[in-house]
């Protein structure tokens, strides 16, 4: 089948399409992380009046999306940039009615990109979503100071053996540069206790996650884009975010919670100065998670969480800007 050539599994398609379904003809959905176009394909197929603008930082994967969605002609547009940059560049323009952010790294990057995202392949240590990014995993692993390495592995990977791993990386790179994902995974495996090495997940999983997050500034971009995306969203519009680890989910949860509050002034302040207007209604008090059938079909979905908010106010509190 034609669809089998696309390797990424789109998470919670039914739930995403249900929550973000358009309520008027001609509305615009911005797919902030289009990847191979799986979610966009679902929206374009189910809602014939919907327009889609797809953003992706990776020109290689975007070409696959263009091919996949070519039959929808002028109903879909493509922009090759980071999603936070897109919203910075388009402030003040007519906004979208629906925004989707699927923050998971596409299976394409693990299986087809050849950039060292996975420790199961002997590929160059790169991990950049956009090849123009000056920072690569190779530079990070071979140039960062030991203490900085340990700190980022702990902060972004929640890796308890971060100091042991950082020490081993620095020791090995003094002998020769660490050039491949296989090399790095082997160094990490050799530096941790045996019980950890043979645990539930590969011992390099958290370290690879942390390095990828830092190389692509994933959490910094997420904080920036949430603010600018909600500001761009038309009143009554919806924003949905799929996260895959606790660091991302915590950012989204607290951001939506803050904008749901009627006032964000300090409790000891006698008079409100923030404007006092609730900006969004949170539609998912608890995150939506995949069902057991989806987890069986796609085990990688088990950690995903989907949160949705609706912009209810034209007013934007300056304290949140």
Do 303 and 284 touch, CB atoms closer than 8 A? no
Dihedral-angle region of residue 189 (phi above 0 means left; psi in -120 to 50 means alpha; beta otherwise): alpha
Q: What is the pLDDT of residues 57-69, one digit of tens each?
A: 989 889 999 999 9
Residue tagged 């050539």 (tokens):
5
Is residue 245 pLDDT above 50, yes or no?
yes
Do 14 and 46 touch, CB atoms closer than 8 A? no
Q: 10 Å Cβ neighbour count for 3?
A: 9
Find the mean pLDDT for residues 244-263: 90
For the domain with range 2-105+220-320, which CATH number is right: 3.50.50.60, 3.40.50.150, 1.20.1260.10, 3.40.50.720?
3.40.50.150
Find the mean pLDDT for residues 62-88: 94
Burial of 179 (0-12, 13-18, 19+ CB in 10 A): middle
Q: What is the pLDDT of residues 263-277, one digit of tens each?
A: 666 667 777 766 667
The confidence score (pLDDT) of residue 321 equals 41
Q: Provide the percentage of residues in the chain whose pLDDT is more than 70.
A: 92
Q: What is the pLDDT of residues 88-131, one digit of tens each?
A: 998 878 889 999 999 977 777 777 778 888 888 889 999 998 88
Find the mean pLDDT for residues 158-187: 96
The confidence score (pLDDT) of residue 319 equals 42
Find the mean pLDDT for residues 152-174: 97
State how far the Cα of 282 lies from the Cα of 239, in Å rounded to an integer.
Answer: 10
Binding residues for S-adenosyl-L-methionine: 37-39, 56, 83, 102, 109
Is residue 320 pLDDT above 60, yes or no?
no
Residues of CATH 1.10.150.170 domain(s) within the chain? 134-215
The confidence score (pLDDT) of residue 275 equals 61
Q: Architecture of domain 134-215 in CATH?
A: Orthogonal Bundle (1.10)
Find the mean pLDDT for residues 71-91: 93
Q: Is the dihedral of CA 182, 188, 194, 196 positive or negative?
A: negative
Residues of CATH 3.40.50.150 domain(s) within the chain? 2-105+220-320
* Contacts of 168 by beta carbon, 8 Å cutoff, 6+ apart: 187, 188, 190, 191
Do 264 and 316 touch, CB atoms closer than 8 A? no
State how far the Cα of 142 lies from the Cα of 178, in Å rounded to an integer.
Answer: 7
State how far the Cα of 147 lies from the Cα of 43, in Å rounded to an integer.
Answer: 46
Binding residues: 37-39, 56, 83, 102, 109
State how far the Cα of 114 lies from the Cα of 126, in Å rounded to an integer.
Answer: 9
The confidence score (pLDDT) of residue 8 equals 55
The closest alpha carbon to 252, from 29, 103, 96, 34, belongs to 103
The closest alpha carbon to 39, from 300, 234, 240, belongs to 240
The closest alpha carbon to 279, from 314, 239, 250, 229, belongs to 314
Is residue 249 pLDDT above 80, yes or no?
yes
Find the mean pLDDT for residues 181-195: 94
Residue 221, classed as helix, strand or coil, is helix
Calculate the average pLDDT of the chain: 89
Is residue 147 pLDDT above 80, yes or no?
yes
DSSP calls for 163-216: HHHHHHHHHHHTTS---BHHHHHHHHHHHS-HHHHTSSS-TTHHHHHHHHHHHT
């Amino acid at each position: 089948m034609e669809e089998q050539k696309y390797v990424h599994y789109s998470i919670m398609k039914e739930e995403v399409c249900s929550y973000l379904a358009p309520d008027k003809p001609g509305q615009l959905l911005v797919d902030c992380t289009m990847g191979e176009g799986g979610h966009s394909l679902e929206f374009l197929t189910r809602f014939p009046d919907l327009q889609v603008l797809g953003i992706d930082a990776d020109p290689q994967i975007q070409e696959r999306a263009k091919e996949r969605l070519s039959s929808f002609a002028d109903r879909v547009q493509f922009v090759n940039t980071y999603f936070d940059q897109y919203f910075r560049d388009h402030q003040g323009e007519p906004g979208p009615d629906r925004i989707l952010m699927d923050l998971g790294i596409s299976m394409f990057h693990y299986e087809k990109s050849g950039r060292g995202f996975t420790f199961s392949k002997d590929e160059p240590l790169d991990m950049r979503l956009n090849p123009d990014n000056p920072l690569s995993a190779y530079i990070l692993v071979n140039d960062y100071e030991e203490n900085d390495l340990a700190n980022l592995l702990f902060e972004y990977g929640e890796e308890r053996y971060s100091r042991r791993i950082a020490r081993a990386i620095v020791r090995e790179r003094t002998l020769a540069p660490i050039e491949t994902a296989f090399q790095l995974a082997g160094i990490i495996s050799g530096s941790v206790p045996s019980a950890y090495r043979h645990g539930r997940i590969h011992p390099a999983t958290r370290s690879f996650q942390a390095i990828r997050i830092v190389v692509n500034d994933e959490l910094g971009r997420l904080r920036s884009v949430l603010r600018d995306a909600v500001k761009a969203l038309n009143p009554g519009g919806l924003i949905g975010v799929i996260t895959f680890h606790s660091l991302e989910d915590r950012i989204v949860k607290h951001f939506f919670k803050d904008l749901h509050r009627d006032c964000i002034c300090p409790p000891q302040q006698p008079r409100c100065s923030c404007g006092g207007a609730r900006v969004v209604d949170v539609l998912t008090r608890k995150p939506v998670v995949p069902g057991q059938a989806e987890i069986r079909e796609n085990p990688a979905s088990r950690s995903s969480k989907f949160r949705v908010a609706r912009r209810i106010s034209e007013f934007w509190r300056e304290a949140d800007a």
